A and B are shown apart, each in its own frame.
Chain A
Amino acid sequence: MRSPKLKSLTCAALLPLLLSGTSALAGEFDGYTLRVKLIGGAQYEPLYAEIPKWEEMTGAKVEVLSRKNHFELDREIKQDIAAGTLDWCVGSNHTSFAPQYGNIYIDLNGVVADDVLAEFDTLAIKNSTVNERLVQLPRHSDVSNLFYKKSLYEDQANKDAFKAKYGYDLTPPETFDQFKDQAMFFANAPTFYGTQYVGKDEAITGRFYEMLVANGGALFDENWNPTFNSEAGVKTVMWFKELYDSKAVPAGVLNYLWDDTGLGFASGTVALNLDWAGWAAFFNDPANSKVAGDVGLVRAPKGTGGKRSGWAGSHTFSITETCDNKEAAASFITFLTDHDRQMIEARKGLLPTRTQVWKDVKAEFEAAGNAFQAEVVDTYSKSMAEDAFTPPLIEPWIEVSNEIWPQLQAAILGEKTPQEALDQAADAARLIMEDAGYIQ
């Protein structure tokens, strides 16, 4: 077995070695202060507890200028760009956000050693690449799969009633149509709901997008003309609307974001929950969750196009072009994404971006007798490998998303027909794409 300490040292030392041609010994960056802006939040903090180890190893100090949620950090970075105050070196980034920042971040190809990059999942590296530049090093990834309350599916009365009503056996859903049927079947508002979905911001745009793809549709054609107001688009919106109209989801769902859906499922009042792996341990923890010990997990359902939904992205680290010590910055982000650091996050349920970590963390869960977490790793590794796809990695993605989600809400609430809502969103998206130069 490889020594963790040796690996950390190797990762941290590799880049300076390559760049300077001198040996990367402890104290390589003695006296240097690395200024960083990081994403904050409970699930991100355990990694930052490792920073003193890098400081000790290299002699550098890390000054954390910001530790905010990603939306606030995004605003701050935009202000820094506008004010010309990019006087820091390392920033947290995300595959969905990266394209809008232009060339403020360096291309990590050649800066991070090829053999280090080769240890990452190919897809994660590909998704971190914008205009053929590797502008970020993936830290952990994100894709959704379907959690369900097992006891509901084991109940014979439920099985009989469902079969009688829908004509097929009650098993965890394989398609979005079955997902809808079962959510409606289990719902008993206001005390129990079939499912719930994130209802605003990029969150619902992302859900719409992945289901659109699963249903055989696309956001844009090859010339960047918006095409989401297609038949597949309308069918996708109808899935949200029918669940809403039948009260299979809470009435306030259009105000929900990730915390609301996760806490809702943990409260035991929801049957099915399409969510990311970060919640898995929480759902199965009796101290936090009323469904602990009763949680099942299956891959995200398939759409009518025969494809599973797989909207994915990665939290990442980037280095600014204006950084005054790119070697130290590269050493730092390599350290934060090395095998041992990723194991720390993977043990918490975050999806690693290094191939070996998937295997090692699964083995660790199995050795500890934690079959549920091992199954979580298994399910999510399959969906990351086979189903995952990112939103279009284009600069105006967030802007296009901001045109789509209010229209989705309007359609779900019945203020417009799904076709009207999507047509209006497509018109607005076309204007944005024209302004951005994608459509001539």
Chain B
Amino acid sequence: MARKRKSPYKTRQALTPYLLLSPAFLVLLFVVALPLLFSLYTSFTGYRLVRPESLWSWVGTRNYERIFADVDFWIAFGRTILFLAIALNLEFIFGLGIALLINRITWGQRTLRTIMMFPMMFSPILVGYQFKFIFNDNIGVLNNALQSLGISDAATPWLVDRHLAMFSIIFAEVWMSTSVFAILLLAGLFAMPRDPIEAAKVDGCSPLQVFRHITLPFLMPFAFIAMTIRSLDVARAYDIVDVMTGGGPAGRTELLWTLIARVGYDNSRMGQANAMAYVSIVLSIAFTYYFFTKLVAARRYMGGAA
């Protein structure tokens, strides 16, 4: 018995969703997937920027083997995790504080919100130069202020000392991006229902208890969204570090992307740099996964509490 053939109309109808979705798929394919696949391929080659023909010199896993044996890479990897953890936590704490304070203001709140956004409007390179000048040991504002106020008579090497150099960079990063947290947490505070807080106050909860058990859990999903966004940003930190210390001295402030940029551009070893970049993506995926897990948990908690 002959099979019944689909009518052209039905065939067209079945294909319509694919046809409508195809522009999106094509854009994703050409804008995201192909460049990623290309860079993944180059990480298995000896590709040097100044030797285009080296794009076809397949070296297998040699770039990855070199990375896994490279102590400097793993130190930079570990330092990036530390940098990320400290910067994100500080930004969260300061952002929360600023959001809570601004939320209490009844007059001039919009102006303050705008002013709070100013640091985000600067280019990271400008922020880097600004803090490089502030922390300069000889002609910097900070040392001059400390010396003029009689607090210190030494020229503190802010950008050279092992701990102070990382502190200075974290300070610049936190200064620039705390407002991301503040603005998202403030949005959370605006969206927060008043009823649970009123009920808690009626039940005799102290302001600290209200904050601990109602306000903070409500804000946590917002905080985790901010952390996800910022973790991707900070894991790619480059401009500020490059301007302030260039990853030095002696690699003391070397982060993954200052190292990758030097290998890829200054040394022209783009194949090896791409291999490093692919290993570093693991870091971004891990943080994103962690924060999304926490986000889902926080939402579930709020759902249960409601």
Q: Which residue of B50, B52, B251 contacts A84 across the interface (Cβ within 8 Å)?
A: B52
Contacts of B246 in A (CB 8 A): 200-201, 255
A286 CB within 8 Å of chain B:
no
B16-58 vs A, Cβ < 8 Å mask (1 yes, 0 no): 0000000000000000000000000000000001111000000
Q: Which residue of A102, A190, A264, A415 contacts B50 across the interface (Cβ within 8 Å)?
A: A102
- Interface stretch, picked from B105-113, B156-164, B226-234, is B156-164
Within 8 A of B (CB), among A365-406: 395, 398-399, 402, 406
Contact B268 A250 (CB under 8 A): no
Chain A, residue nearest B138 (CB): A250
Chain B, residue nearest A75 (CB): B265
Contacts of A250 in B (CB 8 A): 137-138, 155
Contact B136 A252 (CB under 8 A): yes
Q: Which residue of B132, B136, B250, B266 contacts A415 across the interface (Cβ within 8 Å)?
A: B250
A410 CB within 8 Å of chain B:
yes
Min Cβ gap A405→B in Å is 8
Min Cβ gap A361→B in Å is 32
B267 CB within 8 Å of chain A:
yes
Contact A252 B49 (CB under 8 A): no
B249 CB within 8 Å of chain A:
yes
Contact A81 B52 (CB under 8 A): yes
Quick one: given A102-B50, A250-B155, A254-B160, are A190 and B138 in contact (CB under 8 Å)? yes
A65 CB within 8 Å of chain B:
no
Quick one: given A251-B137, A264-B138, A413-B249, are A79 and B159 in contact (CB under 8 Å)? no
A427 to B155, alpha carbons, bound, how many Å? Answer: 36
Contact B248 A269 (CB under 8 A): no
Within 8 A of B (CB), among A10-42: none
A82 CB within 8 Å of chain B:
yes
Quick one: given A82-B52, A102-B50, A200-B248, are A189 and B155 in contact (CB under 8 Å)? yes
Contact A190 B153 (CB under 8 A): yes
A264 to B138, alpha carbons, bound, how many Å? Answer: 8
Contacts of A101 in B (CB 8 A): 50
A193, A200, A252, A395: residue with the most chain B Cβ atoms closer than 10 Å: A252
Min Cβ gap A314→B in Å is 20
Contact B268 A255 (CB under 8 A): no
Min Cβ gap B62→A in Å is 11
With an 8 Å Cβ cutoff, the count of chain A residues facing the other chain is 38
A182 CB within 8 Å of chain B:
no
Quick one: given A78-B50, A399-B267, A409-B250, are A190 and B160 in contact (CB under 8 Å)? no
Contact A399 B49 (CB under 8 A): no
Contacts of A260 in B (CB 8 A): 136
Contacts of A407 in B (CB 8 A): 250
A374 to B132, alpha carbons, bound, how many Å? Answer: 36
Contact B49 A199 (CB under 8 A): no
A251-264 vs B, Cβ < 8 Å mask (1 yes, 0 no): 11011000010011
A102 to B50, alpha carbons, bound, how many Å? Answer: 7
Contacts of B155 in A (CB 8 A): 189-190, 250-252
Contact B137 A252 (CB under 8 A): yes
Chain A, residue nearest B152 (CB): A190
Contact A402 B267 (CB under 8 A): yes
Within 8 A of B (CB), among A163-193: 189-190, 193
Min Cβ gap B187→A in Å is 38
Contacts of A43 in B (CB 8 A): none
- What's the interface size class on B, roughly? 20 to 34
Q: Which residue of B147, B251, B268, B269 contacts A190 across the interface (Cβ within 8 Å)?
A: B147
A84 to B55, alpha carbons, bound, how many Å? Answer: 12
A101 to B249, alpha carbons, bound, how many Å? Answer: 28
Q: Which residue of A190, A200, A398, A406 contacts B266 across the interface (Cβ within 8 Å)?
A: A398
Contact A409 B138 (CB under 8 A): no
Q: Which residue of A78, A193, A200, A413 contacts B268 across the interface (Cβ within 8 Å)?
A: A78
Q: Which residue of A79, A251, A395, A402 contacts B157 across the interface (Cβ within 8 Å)?
A: A251
Contact A200 B249 (CB under 8 A): yes
Quick one: given A75-B265, A406-B251, are A252 and B158 in contact (CB under 8 Å)? yes
B153-185 vs A, Cβ < 8 Å mask (1 yes, 0 no): 111111110000000000000000000000000
Contacts of B288 in A (CB 8 A): none
Q: Which residue of A84, A189, A254, A395 contacts B248 across the interface (Cβ within 8 Å)?
A: A254
A402 to B251, alpha carbons, bound, how many Å? Answer: 11
Q: Which residue of A100, A252, A402, A412 contacts B138 across the interface (Cβ within 8 Å)?
A: A252
Chain A, residue nearest B262 (CB): A402
Quick one: given A81-B52, A406-B251, A409-B248, are A252 and B267 in contact (CB under 8 Å)? no
A322 CB within 8 Å of chain B:
no
A189, A255, A267: residue with the most chain B Cβ atoms closer than 10 Å: A255
Contact B249 A264 (CB under 8 A): no
Contacts of A75 in B (CB 8 A): 265
Contact A255 B160 (CB under 8 A): yes
A408-428 vs B, Cβ < 8 Å mask (1 yes, 0 no): 011011010000000000000
Min Cβ gap B143→A in Å is 8
Chain B, residue nearest A82 (CB): B49
A412 to B248, alpha carbons, bound, how many Å? Answer: 13
Min Cβ gap B212→A in Å is 44
Contacts of B269 in A (CB 8 A): 399
Contacts of A415 in B (CB 8 A): 250
Quick one: given A81-B52, A101-B50, A255-B159, are A269 and B251 in contact (CB under 8 Å)? no
Min Cβ gap A138→B in Å is 22
Q: 14 extra interchain contacts, Cβ-Cβ under 8 A, other than A102-B50, A252-B158, A399-B268?
A: A78-B49, A78-B265, A79-B49, A82-B49, A190-B137, A190-B138, A190-B154, A200-B248, A251-B156, A254-B248, A254-B249, A264-B138, A409-B249, A413-B160
A residues adjacent to B (C-beta < 8 A): 71, 74-75, 78-79, 81-82, 84, 100-102, 189-190, 193, 199-201, 250-252, 254-255, 260, 263-264, 267, 269, 395, 398-399, 402, 406-407, 409-410, 412-413, 415
Residue pairs across A and B with Cβ atoms less than 8 A apart, 26 shown, are A71-B266, A74-B266, A75-B265, A78-B50, A78-B265, A81-B50, A189-B155, A190-B137, A190-B138, A199-B249, A200-B248, A250-B137, A250-B155, A251-B137, A252-B155, A254-B248, A254-B250, A255-B132, A263-B139, A264-B138, A269-B138, A399-B267, A406-B248, A406-B251, A409-B248, A409-B251
Q: Which 3 A-B pairs have the closest CB atoms?
A: A190-B155, A252-B137, A251-B157
